[in-house]
């Protein structure tokens, strides 16, 4: 993603403003919007990529950490989409890219709360894709599978052969998301194996989904 941003910077004159902020804090999105308004910066593209996951048994995880994850993955995404989406609708133009997850398509033992937060993002994004289109605002939800980042290590998840096969490079994931946003599509699952898994999910009973995903994610 950093390499892609660097290439865009070289091709276009881009002014960068770095603002450090804890987005899991209530009202942070509104505060960020006010800060940018004061600087005279209007956001035309919003990439809602902030979030993290926790792997392990639901009861073994810290309740404080779980609720912090829920605030960042859902509440912050909702607030940012609302405050910046309103400005885009008033200007009759803008793009919003929400980053969900392949896990948002099913219940996932070991990632119970995380997968649920990403299901929320997926459904929110697909609904807003239709709802905001008449206002000139496109909303796209990107649902990546395993990516070659530090996400799994930070979450505390062990890898497996299938996860390694499905793993994509961050650049490919970012490119798929940006292209889907500009077309614009309601949602995008990058990668052949990932999109095939979503298709198979529609054909499998839900108990089988839970069993398979639980074994895959257990490493």
What is the pLDDT at residue 47?
96
What is the pLDDT at residue 1?
47
Tokens describing residue 63: 């309740």
114 is catalytic: yes
Catalytic residue among 55, 105, 111, 114: 114
What is the pLDDT at residue 13?
63
Give the span between the Cα atoms of 189 and 202, in whole angstroms.
14
Q: For residue range 8-31, list pLDDT tens digits in order.
A: 555 556 677 888 888 988 899 999
Q: E strands along the chain, which residues?
A: 45-48, 94-99, 137-142, 187-188
Report whether 100 contacts 114 (CB < 8 A).
Answer: no
What is the pLDDT at residue 119?
97
| Domain ranges, ordered by start, for the chain | 2-217
Low-confidence residues in the chain, pLDDT < 70? 1-14, 150-163, 218-219
Q: For residue range 83-99, list pLDDT tens digits in order.
A: 999 999 999 999 999 99
* Fold classification of 2-217 (topology level): Rossmann fold (3.40.50)
Cis peptide before 195 (omega within 30 of 0): no
pTM metric for this prediction? 0.84
What is the pLDDT at residue 29?
92
């Amino acid at each position: 993603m950093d390499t892609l941003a660097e290439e865009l910077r070289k091709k276009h004159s881009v002014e960068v403003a770095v603002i450090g902020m804890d987005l899991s804090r209530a009202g942070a999105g509104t505060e960020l919007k006010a800060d940018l308004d004061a600087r005279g910066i209007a956001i035309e593209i919003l990439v809602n990529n902030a979030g993290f996951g926790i792997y392990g048994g639901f009861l073994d995880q810290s309740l404080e950490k779980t609720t912090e994850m829920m605030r960042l993955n859902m509440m912050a995404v909702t607030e940012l989409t609302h405050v910046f989406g309103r400005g885009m609708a008033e200007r009759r133009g803008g793009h919003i890219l929400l980053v969900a997850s392949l896990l948002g398509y099913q219940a996932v033992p070991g990632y119970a709360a995380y997968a649920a937060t990403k299901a929320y993002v997926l459904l929110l994004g697909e609904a807003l894709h239709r709802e905001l289109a008449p206002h000139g605002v496109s909303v796209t939800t990107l649902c990546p599978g395993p990516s070659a980042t530090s996400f799994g290590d930070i979450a505390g998840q062990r890898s497996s052969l299938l996860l390694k096969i499905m793993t994509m490079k961050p650049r490919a994931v970012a490119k798929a998301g940006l292209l889907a946003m500009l077309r614009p599509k309601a949602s995008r699952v990058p990668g052949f194996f990932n999109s095939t898994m979503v298709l198979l999910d529609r054909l499998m009973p839900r108990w089988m989904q839970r069993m398979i995903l639980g074994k895959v994610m257990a490493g």
